[in-house]
A and B are shown apart, each in its own frame.
Chain A
Amino acid sequence: MSLFEKTATELLALQAEGKASAVEVADAFLAAYSAREPKLKSFMLSPDPDAVRRRAAEIDAKRKSGRPLGKLAGVPVAVKDVLCTKGVRTTCSSKILEHFVPPYDAHVVERLAAEDAVIFGKTNMDEFAMGSSTENSAYHLTRNPWDTERIPGGSSGGSAACVAGCQAPVSLGTDTGGSIRQPAALCGIVGMKPTYGRVSRYGLVAFASSLDQIGPFAHDTRDCALMMEAIAGHDDRDSTSVNRPAPEYTKTVDQPVKGLKIGVPREFFGQGLDAEIEGAVRQALKEYEKLGATLVDVSLPHSPYALAAYYIVAPAEASSNLARYDGMHYGHRTTEKGDLIATYSKSRAEGFGKEVQRRIILGTYVLSSGYKDAYYVKALKVRRLVKKDFDDAFEKCDVVMGPTTPSAAFKAGEKSDDPLALYLSDVYTVSCNLAGLPGMSIPCGFTKSGLPIGLQLLGAPFSEEQLFRIARMYESVTDWHTKRPKV
């Protein structure tokens, strides 16, 4: 296996044993990036070769000097272009932020630097993280490494494609309604959306503030745990960041959970689920039974309503968050002369893409006088019912499992004219965000045509440590996570 196909954990071991330097690792990924980027187009901003090598050389020098090294020493990490990077453009794949250069780093970017990671470019995404295919990027399409005719999922499609396509060993994405788990499933890698509040959102460009969380993509659960160990923890610059210690996830990841009870919600196996996806997920559940787990029938009776509630709550919060883009302090300002209101309206119309405009208008409508109770408040009531379903389910089981997506990766352009059809691909992932739970997707097979399938694991709040252990149990008896596409 080539250096660029290895996991972060393997790369750390090679460096510790003196078998590879951080500069050699960086060069391997820079070469893989250059060779594959014309096909995949995972990146919004390419990694700067000089900056990457300089940073890697610093880590090598630090190692040589005998100073203590961070948990991610010399590991390249690609970062979704919705996370602020000081002095490096952060566009959210939007024209409105085309030239925006943040004056500070996001908390997670600071954490990566503190753990001696090598920041490796900014990845492409659906504009402002609104989408499920990365086709809403204002710049270019990203391709699925398993079949470049197909989309990688979204909105963190670039972060998923670059790890699946071995252009970076690990990356960061964000998940508001499935934007980490869905692309992880469609690209055949591991992705985690942490409990709301587990990871600081400081420096994350806001989409829907009560739903957004930052989380990692990796080839396997061990790497995912390693990344979470680096980014989780309290930060007083995000008032929703939870002040409780973050466990050392890598210490326990290899310990199987004894007497594991898996909740299987009947609502996740109904109409609309592709037969091949269902087959692979059922097979994965059988593997868990062989490992001694018990399957428990659970019901999430309000899950059929979760998606509709989500598409009220998320656009409502987005319409409020995106009001800040008015062309006054930063971002695009129209060159047309006009009064203040005209300048706002023109700048926003020129700077935002179609899907972002659609969600701003939908969000403004459901919050507007006369409609707020019928839509927004109604959705918040449903949100409570969705959360209660999970509280009840976790009385009976340790984890809820099901498919991450109803079907495998679709072809680029297939759903781009039908927003509602695209929204439906989030049907299994949104309830986790509404309830604030941690969730993962891990690879559990392929369709006959060779497209990856994801198994979704949902846990009680702050059960990340246990989710990692449960996911690792499956990896110990399967090899899906070791597969790499031929790009």
Chain B
Amino acid sequence: MSLSIDQVRKVARLARLELSGPDLARMQQQLSAILDYIELLNKLNTDGVEPLAHPLPVQNVFRPDEEAPSLPPDAALQNAPNRVGDYFGVPAVFSDEPVSH
């Protein structure tokens, strides 16, 4: 199955990756080859098979709600690209302009 450039552009936008024109074209070609290979799965009848998301049976693990030491602010902020006091500095989330997605 092949993907169109528009499909790749749309998925890249969903994945929050800004791709240039040549990158989009290469990605389209390589992803189409991979999807062609993956088509192999359609030869297999999986009617009535339960999906398996996890190799071992997993269940919720609970612990008592007890106070414990957590990361001190300086340690939590040590890798911040933009530290503003005891906060992470980020671009404005809301702008006056309508945002297109």
A residues within 8 Å of B by Cβ? Answer: 99-101, 103-104, 196-197, 210, 236, 239-240, 242, 302, 304-305, 308-309, 311-312, 319, 323, 326-333, 338-346, 348-349, 352, 357-358, 360-362, 364-365, 368, 375, 377-385, 387, 419-420, 423, 433-437, 461
Residue of A100, A358, A362, A377 with highest tally of chain B CB at under 10 A? A362
Which chain A residues lie closer than 8 Å to B80 at the CB level? 329-330
12 A-B contact pairs sorted by A residue (CB < 8 Å):
A103-B79, A104-B71, A312-B38, A330-B81, A331-B81, A341-B99, A345-B13, A349-B18, A357-B17, A419-B30, A420-B33, A461-B56
Please provide the chain B residues from 42 to 71 with a CB less than 8 Å away from any CB of chain A in the complex.
42, 44, 46, 49-56, 58, 60-61, 63, 71
Q: Is the C-beta of B92 less than 8 angstroms from some C-beta in chain A?
A: yes
The answer to whether residues A434 and B38 also contact, given A352-B17, A361-B15 and a CB cut-off of 8 A, is no
Which chain B residues lie closer than 8 Å to A344 at the CB level? 16
B17 to chain A, nearest CB (A): 5
Q: Per a CB cutoff under 8 Å, which of A197, A368, A382, A434 touches B14?
A: A368
Q: Per a CB cutoff under 8 Å, which of A311, A332, A382 touches B81?
A: A332
A196, B58: Cα distance in complex, Å: 11
The answer to whether residues A339 and B95 also contact, given A364-B15, A380-B52 and a CB cut-off of 8 A, is yes
Digit string of B72-91 for contact with A (CB within 8 Å is 1, else 0)? Answer: 00011011111000001011
A382, B82: Cα distance in complex, Å: 45
Nearest A residue to B7 by beta-carbon distance?
Answer: A365
A168, B19: Cα distance in complex, Å: 40
Q: Per a CB cutoff under 8 Å, which of B15, B41, B56 touches A305?
A: B41
Ordered nearest first, which 7 A-B pairs have the shortest CB separation?
A: A436-B55, A380-B51, A330-B79, A384-B52, A333-B81, A103-B75, A381-B46
Nearest A residue to B24 by beta-carbon distance?
Answer: A361
A360, B15: Cα distance in complex, Å: 7
The answer to whether residues A101 and B52 also contact, given A302-B44, A341-B16, A349-B18 and a CB cut-off of 8 A, is no
Nearest A residue to B49 by beta-carbon distance?
Answer: A381
A461, B57: Cα distance in complex, Å: 12
Flag if B56 contacts A361 (CB, 8 Å). no
The answer to whether residues A375 and B38 also contact, given A99-B79, A330-B79, A349-B19 and a CB cut-off of 8 A, is yes
Flag if B44 contacts A382 (CB, 8 Å). yes
Flag if B63 contacts A311 (CB, 8 Å). no
A49, B95: Cα distance in complex, Å: 51
Flag if A236 contacts B63 (CB, 8 Å). yes
Flag if A333 contacts B15 (CB, 8 Å). no
Q: Is the C-beta of B27 less than 8 angstroms from some C-beta in chain A?
A: yes
Which chain B residues lie closer than 8 Å to A338 at the CB level? 91
A420, B35: Cα distance in complex, Å: 10
Nearest A residue to B44 by beta-carbon distance?
Answer: A305
Flag if A365 contacts B79 (CB, 8 Å). no
A361, B16: Cα distance in complex, Å: 9
A427, B60: Cα distance in complex, Å: 33
Flag if A331 contacts B53 (CB, 8 Å). no
Flag if B16 contacts A327 (CB, 8 Å). no
Which chain A residues lie closer than 8 Å to B38 at the CB level? 308, 311-312, 375
Q: Per a CB cutoff under 8 Å, which of A104, A210, A330 touches B54?
A: A210
Nearest A residue to B8 by beta-carbon distance?
Answer: A361
**Interface contacts beyond A312-B38, A461-B56: sample of 19 additional A-B pairs, CB < 8 Å, sorted by A:** A99-B79, A210-B53, A239-B58, A239-B60, A308-B40, A309-B41, A311-B34, A326-B16, A330-B79, A333-B82, A342-B18, A361-B15, A365-B7, A382-B41, A382-B46, A384-B49, A420-B30, A420-B33, A434-B55
A358, B12: Cα distance in complex, Å: 10
The answer to whether residues A383 and B93 also contact, given A308-B40, A364-B15 and a CB cut-off of 8 A, is no
Q: Per a CB cutoff under 8 Å, which of A311, A312, A332, A361 touches B12?
A: A361
Nearest A residue to B59 by beta-carbon distance?
Answer: A239
A302, B43: Cα distance in complex, Å: 11
Q: Per a CB cutoff under 8 Å, which of B15, B52, B58 touches A240?
A: B58
Which chain A residues lie closer than 8 Å to B88 at the CB level? 328-329
Which chain B residues lie closer than 8 Å to A240 at the CB level? 54, 56, 58
A275 to chain B, nearest CB (A): 24
Which chain A residues lie closer than 8 Å to B33 at the CB level? 419-420
Q: Per a CB cutoff under 8 Å, which of B51, B81, B92 touches A383?
A: B51
B16 to chain A, nearest CB (A): 4
The answer to whether residues A358 and B11 also contact, given A341-B99, A378-B46, A436-B55 and a CB cut-off of 8 A, is no
B22 to chain A, nearest CB (A): 12
A151, B42: Cα distance in complex, Å: 34
Flag if B52 contacts A378 (CB, 8 Å). no
Residue of A197, A384, A433, A435 with highest tally of chain B CB at under 10 A? A384
Q: Is the C-beta of B5 less than 8 angstroms from some C-beta in chain A?
A: no
Q: Per a CB cutoff under 8 Å, which of A103, A239, A345, A379 touches B71?
A: A103
